[in-house]
Chains A and B, each alone.
Chain A
């Protein structure tokens, strides 16, 4: 049984999704418990897989017993297992935290919502764990389509059109990726990542392989919202329903960044990827632009959730820049940042979702005096903000450390400057909000009626996960040394 864990990891939420949808016709109340059970099983399996990888090293699982390259293989190594754990954790914590809100928002459609939620997680898990290029495309589209639907379920009138724009850009991205895979198939005859890795070296000089790499890269960059291909991101994440936003925002773009790193490291080796110094420097400059422009655009936003989406654009810039700097330190920083950013984004989106439940509208000025009314939620928001700014001992500091160190090692001081400037802008971004929440009187216009006296927090089912995530930020920060030296660095052996 335990040898089948990699497959079960993906299959259990898949079957749960269908079970939930069927269940929603019969017995609506058990939808949420079923969903939580399915995700919990996946969560436990991902922990088990991480432990197995740390003890025994990377291993692969052949679906259906077919050996690659004819069959589809799931490849598990340290980096994989870490991202898997991040995905299952975020999905599970988010479901527990927003379960009540989902029941309230989608009372008549909750079967559909939970099914889509679980299918989205299935897609992401599959993307991370697969070792086959085409299988990745299929699961990518599963995740994308369910994502589009989840976003379109938002209550705002602008949700469907934002989702439709996301459909267009996302499809172009996925098709570019498919095209790149097609080129690789023509040249190597194989779709298995490890196999292609072995077959590619003699072909590095062919323009077809270069075209394949560029197509795959551009496709993945569209999907991850890398500047200047990010225009779908702010609208899509702002108008999504808040339970979906706090699921999709931490995960989708980061998993796409993982795909980019996987392509760079395991399919096209670094010797090919970094062979053109001007190209990699060019991408790092583009990443610097992404970082700065994301931060500056965030400054000009009045709506807090929109501001957070621009911060995501900035954070993706960190990861892409770190990956393309070309040394082990920066790549470790980028991978660590995938983890950290997933957690930090979950933290702020959960806090903001909780606030929007009470307030309705989310302009900065609506938060006046909120520390008096919702101290724990705001404490969670402050913790997430501090982590995004990069203050030790939260995790955000440590991934910035490795990124800055890697940039110094690569003599790329522009990237260092971009990182520092964006941290300073983040200080302004978050302390604007903290200052408003700290001073002033609780705003009644935003909620349409008077606040009652005393603390008026959201329910415990939201608060406890939020506080767990906040503690997780600090714990992940303190143990980031362990994560980097025991998990990420071994995963990158032989790469640089």
Chain B
């Protein structure tokens, strides 16, 4: 029971992202349709993004914005009260990267469709071999 509690439940975020990654990887490898592969790639990247965001969270902490309401902050801030903002910022960049990659990949899928008139990988391979 101890083992179950410490290793599975307490670290549920890690297990979740592993499962998501595996789903994404499975889709990339096993699915035949190019768009499904692309979605799998996106799931893979999203899993990692989720992982990063989750490591920044702290127990009982609030969003990393300092309340001003006009007056300057005179006392030292206790970082334990605020969620770590750095992973969020990094992951904004990573999301942008993921979106650009997805965009390029979709453009490539459009070009492939224009040429081979299908998005199924096995059919594409057959048509390549024929030509």
Contact = CB atoms under 8 A, between A and B. Distances in A.
Contacts of A168: 28, 37, 41
A178 B105 contact: no
Interface residues of B, number: 30
Nearest to A144: B101
Contact of A160 (B48, B100, B108): B108
A148 B101 CA distance: 9
A149 B44 contact: no
Contact of A167 (B44, B55, B97, B101): B101
B31 to A, nearest CB: 11
A161 B112 contact: yes
Interface in A137-191: 137-138, 141, 144-145, 148-149, 152, 157-158, 160-161, 163-164, 167-168, 171-172, 175, 178-179, 182, 185-186, 191
A186 B55 CA distance: 7
B80 interface: no
Contacts of A186: 55
Contacts of A376: none
A141 B97 contact: yes
A134 interface: yes
B88 to A, nearest CB: 13
B63 to A, nearest CB: 20
Contacts of B51: 179, 182
Contact of A171 (B34, B44, B90): B44
B66 interface: no
B111 interface: yes
Nearest to A160: B111
B115 A148 contact: no
Contacts, number: 73
B100 A145 contact: yes
B131 A157 contact: yes
A142 to B, nearest CB: 8
B104 A145 contact: yes
B104 A148 contact: yes
Nearest to A186: B55
Contacts of A175: 44-45, 48
Contacts of B93: 134, 138
Contacts of B128: 157-158, 161
Contacts of A179: 48, 51
A179 B21 CA distance: 11
Nearest to A149: B104
A148 B103 CA distance: 12
Contacts of A167: 41, 101, 104-105, 108
Given A141-B97, A178-B94, A186-B55, A152 B48 contact: no
A375 B97 CA distance: 46
Contact of A148 (B25, B87, B108, B112): B108
A163 B108 contact: yes
Contact of A172 (B28, B104, B111): B28
B41 A171 contact: yes
B91 to A, nearest CB: 10
Given A167-B105, A167-B108, A172-B41, 7 more contacts: A145-B100, A161-B116, A161-B128, A164-B105, A179-B48, A182-B52, A185-B87
Interface of A: 134, 137-138, 141, 144-145, 148-149, 152, 157-158, 160-161, 163-164, 167-168, 171-172, 175, 178-179, 182, 185-186, 191
24 contacts: A134-B93, A137-B97, A138-B97, A141-B97, A145-B97, A148-B101, A157-B131, A160-B111, A160-B112, A161-B116, A164-B108, A167-B41, A167-B104, A168-B41, A171-B44, A172-B28, A175-B44, A175-B48, A178-B48, A182-B48, A182-B51, A182-B52, A182-B55, A186-B55
